[in-house]
Amino acid sequence: MSAKSKGKSRVTIFPDWCKGCGICAAFCPAKVMELNDQGKAVVVREEECINCGFCELHCPDFAIMVQPKVDSEIPAGSKSGQVNASPTGSVESEKSIKEKG
Amino acid sequence: MADIKGTQLIHEYLRHNKKFPHVFCSGCGHGIVLGSLIRSIHGLGLSKDDVCIVAGIGCSGRLAAYVDFNTVHTCHGRALTFATGIKMAKPGMHVIVVMGDGDSMAIGGNHLIHAARRNIGVTALILNNNIYGMTGGQCSPTTPAGANTQTTPMGQMEQSFDCAKLCTAAGANYVARGSVFHVKRLDSMIMEGIMNPGFGVVEIMTPCFTQYGRKNGFKSPVDMFHALKKNVIQSDRFDAIPEEERGEKVPSGVFVKKDTPGLEEKFYEMAARCQGGS
C-alpha cells in the first residue's frame, strides 16, 4: 500500500471480454479504472496502481491482467494496455469467430 | 507454471475453443467462482487429469463447459449421484460438484442430504444466488423471506433454507460458507474442502443482478457487491450480534471440519479385507 509500490505494474484490459459490470472501477482503491461511454472499463490512471490485485481477482470475465512492469518499460509506461482485444490475441479470436460463423 | 498468476493462470485452464466471453450476465459472481476454483486447483498442484468437475443444470452448470478438466454435465439435481459413481469407481480422482441453490437443495435436495450422510469423498460447491436465474427468476428454497421474485411479486412468504446448517446436521465432514466478494478466503475454503476426506460443502454467496437484484431495489451489480461486503461476516462476529439485530447478515467461515474417512475409503478397505480373508 505504500507510495513506493505505485507505478510498478501494468494493467491490461481486454475489451472483447469485458461486460462492463463496473466492479473493478467501483472497488479499485487507487481509482485506476473508469467506465467509458460504451460502458466498458478502461485504464485511466495506471501510474496510481498499487498492485493489490482486487480487480484481477474480482473480474468475473477474466478481462483484467495486472503484471509487474519490465524495467525497460517504466519510462514509456504511460502507454496503457488494450493491446489485444482478447487474451488469445485479436487475430486468433477473429479467426475463431469466422470458423464458427 | 510457477511464475504465472491471476488471470494469466486462469487462461491456461480455460477451453479457448468454447465461446468467450462466457454466458454469465454482467456482474454475475459465477465467473469469480470459476476463477477461484481454478486458482485453488492450481494452488494444490493437482494435474488436470486428476480432477473431475461434475455440474448440474442451471447457470452454474455452464461452469463445467469452460474448464479443461474431466467434466460432466448432468441431469437437473442429479450431479451428486453421478459424482458418487465416479468417486466409487476412481477413488484417486478429485471429484468437485458445482451446483446452484435450486439444483442442490430443491430438485436434488435428497441427494445432498444423503451424500452428506454417506460421507462420500466429493466436494460440493453450492453457488447460492437466492433465485432460479436461468429459467426466469422463480423463487428458490434459499430466496429470503419477503424478497420479490417473478413468482412471488408480493414478497416471498416461506422461510428460506440454511444450506450450511442442513449439511452440518446431515453429517458432512467439511462445511464452509464464503462469498464472491471475499475471494481469497474462498480460495482457501475450496482448497481445504478438496483436501479434506469425506463430503465437503462450500456454500458460496453470489449475486444475481438480472433476476434477483433488479426486483429487490439494487441499482447495479456493484450495489449487490456492496451488500455482500456488508452482510457476509465472520461467524464469530455474527454470533456476537443479538438475534433481533441480525437482519440480512449471514455468517461465513468454516463451520465443521472432521477427518472421518469417506465412504470410498471404507469400501476399498473392506474390499481388501475380504480379499485377504478368502
Q: pLDDT tens-digit profile of B167-220?
A: 999 999 999 999 999 999 999 999 999 999 999 999 999 999 999 999 999 999
A58 in contact with chain B, both atoms CB, cutoff 8 A: yes
Query: What is the DSSP code (8-state) at residue B209?
Result: I
Query: Closest approach of chain A CAs to the CA of B17, in angstroms?
Result: 8
Of residues A23, A86, A96, nearest to B221 (C-beta) = A23
Of residues A19, A56, A100, nearest to B26 (C-beta) = A19
Cβ of B35 within 8 Å of Cβ of A62? The answer is yes
Q: What's the Cα-to-Cα distance from B102 to each of B59, B201, B266, rounded to whole Å?
A: 11, 15, 31
Q: Supply the pTM of this predicted model.
A: 0.88
Query: Pairing mode, if any, of strands B70-73 and B51-55?
Result: parallel
How far apart are the C-alpha atoms of B212 and B217, rounded to whole Å?
A: 9
Query: Closest approach of chain A CAs to the CA of B59, in angstroms?
Result: 14
Determine the residue of chain B that is closest to A24 in CA distance.
B222
How far apart are the C-alpha atoms of B99 and B33, rounded to whole Å?
A: 12
Q: Count CA atoms within 13 Å of residue B92 on its CB side.
A: 4
How far apart are the C-alpha atoms of B98 and B73, rounded to whole Å?
A: 10
Going by pLDDT thresholds of 50, 70 and 90, the confidence category of residue A97 is: very low
Counting other chains too, the contacts that B258-262 makes at CB distance below 8 Å and 24 or more residues apart are: B258/B173, B258/B174, B258/B198, B259/B173, B259/B196, B259/B197, B259/B198, B260/B119, B260/B173, B260/B197, B260/B198, B261/B197, B261/B198, B262/B119, B262/B120, B262/B121, B262/B173, B262/B197, B262/B198, B262/B199
Q: What's the Cα-to-Cα distance from B190 to each of B56, B97, B103, rounded to whole Å?
A: 18, 12, 19
With 90 as the cut, is the pLDDT of residue B51 above it? yes
Residue B120 is placed in which grid cell? 462420500
Identify the CA nearest to A36 among candidates A46, A47, A25.
Answer: A25
Cis peptide before B21 (omega within 30 of 0): yes
Cβ of B10 within 8 Å of Cβ of A62? The answer is yes
Residue B13 is placed in which grid cell? 485452464
Going by pLDDT thresholds of 50, 70 and 90, the confidence category of residue A91 is: very low
With 70 as the cut, is the pLDDT of residue B43 above it? yes
Residue in B3, B7, B9, B62 to test binding to A, most A beta-carbons within 10 Å: B7
Identify the CA nearest to B24 among candidates A55, A56, A17, A67.
Answer: A17
Mean pLDDT, chain A, as a whole number?
75
Residues B216-234 pLDDT 10s: 999 999 999 999 999 999 9
Which range of A72-81, A86-95, B254-263 scores highest in mean pLDDT? It is: B254-263
Q: Return the residue matching grid coordinates 433454507.
A: B161
